[in-house]
Homo-oligomer: A and B are copies of this chain.
Amino acid sequence: MQEQILPAEGKLGILLPGLGAVASTMIAGVIATRKGLSKPIGSLTQTGHIELEEGSKDNYSLIKDYVPLAALEDVVFGGWDIYEDNIYQAATHARVLDQRLLDSIRPELEVIKPMRAVFDRDYVRNLDGKFIKNSATKWDAAQELIKDIETFKKANNVSRVVIVWTGSTEKYLEQSAVHETIAAFEAGLKSNDVNIAPSMVYAYAAVSQGIPFINGAPNLTTDIPAIVQLARKTKTAIGGKDFKTGQTLMKTIVAPGLAARSLGVSGWYSTNILGNRDGLVLDDEQNFKTKEVSKLGVLEDILRPDLHPDLYGDLYHKIRINYYPPHGDNKESWDNIDIFGWLNYPMQIKINFLCRDSILAAPIVLDLALFADLAQRAGMYGVQDWLSFYLKSPQTQNGEQAENDVFKQLNTLKQVLRTIKQQDTQELPALDLTKETEPAI
């Protein structure tokens, strides 16, 4: 962290690979909010408070008054997609927001047009877009992305850029040799290594230019040594992975509560139905596996079966996602939780969450973009695990076990904001929040 945070001067470009339901809902909402047509509910940066001291019940500040975030008025949007729809069209097709609202801001939405995407159908078999780059190599694709970003910055007179991945879940991929060093990775880009996913090409393009990159899908993307090392080298903030929206959000709320009361858990069955593009992609087993791995991990860390074998040692955790077109973007989850209490007597909790995928994800995208920009201006680089509050499967700095308890995550986020604040107001000597001075990998 630097001694002082760079001010949020000029415009902030938020670039989104994947301009579908989530991205268009977020963009439309910010524009509608700027015009006074609606409220940015669900966004901690816009509506949330922070206790000036931990535990205080009386001294509060709005977070956006507390730390120097970019203002919504200063934000400009852009991105890439495999379909050529502008944001008005994309939002219309997504059928998330009321058409009357979209019509009332149609001109502002229509001017936002995608750039051609880097895409490889082998990674997402259930989609088949045509608006894609025709690059000879993945290296070339990365260079074209870098050029796209430059063009965007100039065209929109933007002083800073952050990138948040709002694209699809890619097929399951495990870390391999090409991911291990910057050199191997760059060689792989040039040799079109099959283990370099499209999302990694975006991440490389961003991080190589010092542009913060946050990964909202469960893809590996930034969670490989090559990108982590590159982020340190270029002093860039990165983070991921997988927006924590519906069922997993609820799970990381309820599980800490059960643990607090020392109630045992013998089984947790989670099913999801959704009918949007995300659901279609996850209907492919290869892609579902990526998501499943991301979702399965959260209970272990919260419940600590290692400490409480009698309570959580035999927990059976099963997660299913089903493509169900009748619901469109209205994702719905049903959880059956088998718990047990005094003398091992069983009890059950059923949670049915009738949520909206993009409505829950949109403010997360906004918050992550604004906080990533803040981190970058504060000189915090490398993995921003204090943003794990927003993420299903948080990437950690040095491979530590992630924190998944949403309440502990929020405490950490607020603690970091307090430290940034103190730093900014020079109350404290500079702290190294990044803990990234020694290469750990």
Contact = CB atoms under 8 A, between A and B. Distances in A.
B60 A307 contact: yes
A407 B345 contact: no
Top 6 closest A-B pairs, CB basis? Answer: A267-B326, A253-B257, A42-B341, A350-B352, A38-B343, A348-B354
A254 interface: yes
A48 interface: yes
B267 A325 contact: yes
A121 interface: no
Interface stretch (A186-194, A220-228, A356-364, A368-376): A356-364
Contact of A44 (B55, B262, B353): B262
Interface of A: 25-26, 29, 32, 38-44, 46-49, 55, 57, 60, 97, 100-101, 249-250, 252-254, 256-258, 260-264, 266-267, 269, 271, 273, 304, 307-308, 310-311, 316, 318, 320, 322, 324-327, 332, 334, 336, 338, 340-345, 347-356, 358-360, 362-363, 389, 401, 403, 406-408, 410-411
Contact of A273 (B250, B310, B336): B336
A257 B401 contact: no
Nearest to A25: B342
Contacts of A389: 260
Contacts of A310: 39, 41, 47
Nearest to A40: B342
Contacts of A355: 347
A389 B260 CA distance: 9
A406 B25 CA distance: 34
A324 B438 CA distance: 45
Contact of A349 (B258, B345, B351): B351
Given A29-B342, A264-B41, A343-B38, A257 B363 contact: no
Given A262-B41, A310-B39, A360 B338 contact: no
Copies in the complex: 4
Contacts of A263: 41-42
A256 B97 CA distance: 27
Given A257-B406, A341-B359, A347-B355, 9 more contacts: A41-B340, A41-B344, A249-B257, A249-B261, A260-B406, A271-B322, A342-B363, A348-B354, A351-B351
Contacts of A41: 262-264, 310-311, 340-344
Contacts of A327: 267, 338
A262 B406 contact: no
Contact of A345 (B250, B258, B359): B359
A267 B351 contact: no
Contact of A47 (B254, B260, B262, B326): B262
Contacts of A43: 262, 342
B311 A47 contact: yes
29 contacts: A29-B342, A39-B343, A39-B344, A40-B342, A40-B343, A42-B262, A42-B263, A46-B262, A49-B308, A57-B403, A250-B254, A253-B253, A253-B256, A254-B254, A261-B406, A269-B322, A316-B325, A318-B322, A318-B324, A332-B336, A334-B334, A334-B350, A341-B356, A345-B356, A347-B353, A347-B354, A347-B355, A349-B353, A350-B353
A271 B320 contact: yes
A352 B349 contact: yes
Given A269-B322, A338-B327, A363-B342, A356 B347 contact: yes
Contacts of A29: 342-343
A260 B253 CA distance: 10
Contact of A342 (B261, B322, B340, B362): B362
Contacts of A363: 262, 341-342
Given A41-B343, A42-B262, A310-B41, A324 B249 contact: no
Nearest to A361: B342
A256 B336 CA distance: 21
A407 B256 CA distance: 8
Contact of A260 (B40, B316, B350, B407): B407
